[in-house]
Structure 1
Amino acid sequence: MSSVKNVAVVGATGAVGRETIRVLEQRRFPVGELRLFASPRSAGMTVPFAGREVPVRALECVPAEFEGIDLVLVSAGGAVSRRVCPVAAAAGATVIDKSSVFRMEPDVPLVVPEVNPQAIRRRPRGIVANPNCATIQLVVAVAPLHRAAGIRRMVVSTYQSASGAGEKGRAELEADTRAFLEGRAPVQSTFARPLGFNCVPLIDRLLDDGSTFEERKTVEETRKILEAPALRIAATTVRVPVLVGHSAAVFLELERPLAPEEAWAELCRAPGVVVVDEPSVGKVPTPRDAAGTDAVYVGRIRRDPSVEHGLALWVVADNLRKGAATNGVQIAELLL
């Protein structure tokens, strides 16, 4: 890598923000100055980076905060993104936003570097969108199969960890699990139902058609990234009592025949994919195995006999890293 960049991280003390800072250091991104921003209650804290403690500033959303900054990574939620991204871009920075605010805007590229790196070339507003965490791992896994045999229809069920709701989600799962074991009242404020020892098929708000916004994001973002606007997709998203790591059961109806062995070979060649597929000896991808890593793990690759040219697979990734922080830093690397 070359060309040192001055970098700002907005939402620096949240789960994804802290992971972003770690990933910048681990991947040796050429950071010159690093500015960290968060809410006023986090001002004055410090975050470790490259052997030093970097102070956190209270975000004011004014252009002066981004003067001299080349790259801004934003992971502070939609309301903050809506305010800060245009300000930072107008100050001359390229903004990588991890909220859903800009993802479906036609003049904002939605990028997964292993799948559609070319999309980053056209960014007239100076903003690049990072997809939804579950969508990222899904498209990394299915894109090589789409190129090989064409996807006619996809049915996907995601099993998403508590940390997908941030630090407060992870803390609530831990507290509710203890409450359940100790016979106390459930702890619930972040999720639609108590999450300890439970599965909750409601993520984000409910829409008029009975789907959730999380499910709509899965459908619409996948179509945009794959450049397949007519692709038929049915999605169900479920919150599960896992601390870190999202999983997905994926069923594909393909345009052309693709044997499981051929799919296995395509996935083994695909960037960012690790195939773990020896179920007879218990070698299958799990969230615990994926936590702390950047790959998308695929296993249980098999024929789906319910449709012509059907294929089924299981996909797992760390939602805080590849599902958010690492994908954002990989986008930044495309800009070097």
Structure 2
Amino acid sequence: MEFSLLNQSPILKNHTVKESLQNTINFAVKAERLGYKRFFVSEHHNLKTLIGTAPEVLVSHLAAHTSKMHIGAGGIMLSHHNPFHVAEQFQLINHLADGRIDLGIGKAPGGTPDATKALQHELKDDIAPFNDRFVQLKKYLHGKHSNADELKISPDTDNPPDLFLLGGSVSSALFAAEENVNYMFAHFINNDVELLKEVAKNYKNNARKGKFIVALSVLVIEGEDSKAAMIKENEYYQLLYKDGRKYRVITEEQAETFVKNSDEEIEVVKKQPDIIMGSPDEVLEQLTELNKDNYIDEFMFHLPTTDPEIREQTLEALAPVNTIHNSEKAGIV
């Protein structure tokens, strides 16, 4: 069992954009010292609250400020990018970071319809389906594409970045197992414990190798008033499409923008978040309960608050050097 972090680089309370980005750097440096396995950054576009528009830039910068911890994208939204260029970028960063780079690939738009339109403006109308693009990316990384002798992402591809598929369904987990890649389940988006168990079982029973990672919302915070404030801060809107797709946005304004700019029928539902909260021991006990079937290899913590003190408190309280890597605490998870 390992603990990792998913940092969406929010604009922190009473902080500027520059200060919030510096906090992301400081957070990664401290996370490495505290024993966290990975530090992933996300891709979001045209959102007022999140800064991370270019994971490839942040990953490279964070890798230069760390020396041991794995740094990765969680993830690159492949619908906006050319698979060959993504493979080139992350192979290059992996060379620079001495093999510590992870490449997580996601399917969601990661932003508003206007942002998606701008990002995909020059892409062909007959763009290949996501699964086909993922397979092509994997082939580029491993030099298994049809013209590999003539077309290379690097003169040296012996050590490609580890590949992760991000998803929230049984079908995506089975696809990851079929492709023999790591799978990260976005539990912080789809807070369904029974679905988590089903996805974990299907991945583990079908994958020849690969890690099953669960990304979930966690805060070390005590007191009912404080917990209620965190629930209020993280209320969101879920967009439900007729074909079963689900997206989440933070504000009512963002939800209205999606509906206005879409030709599809979308149902909008206001939701309360599911956050694991409590004292350090209470949080660890809840994590243990989630993994009682022992299918989960790693928990990746998303810290859903703009309060820098609560983020620091959670980072330190759940530090692997004090919990899972400490002989007295290791039995908790």
Q: Please tell me the TM-score bracket, short chain as reference.
A: 0.3 to 0.5
For normalisation by structure 1, the TM-score amounts to: 0.32
Normalized against structure 2, the TM-score is what?
0.32
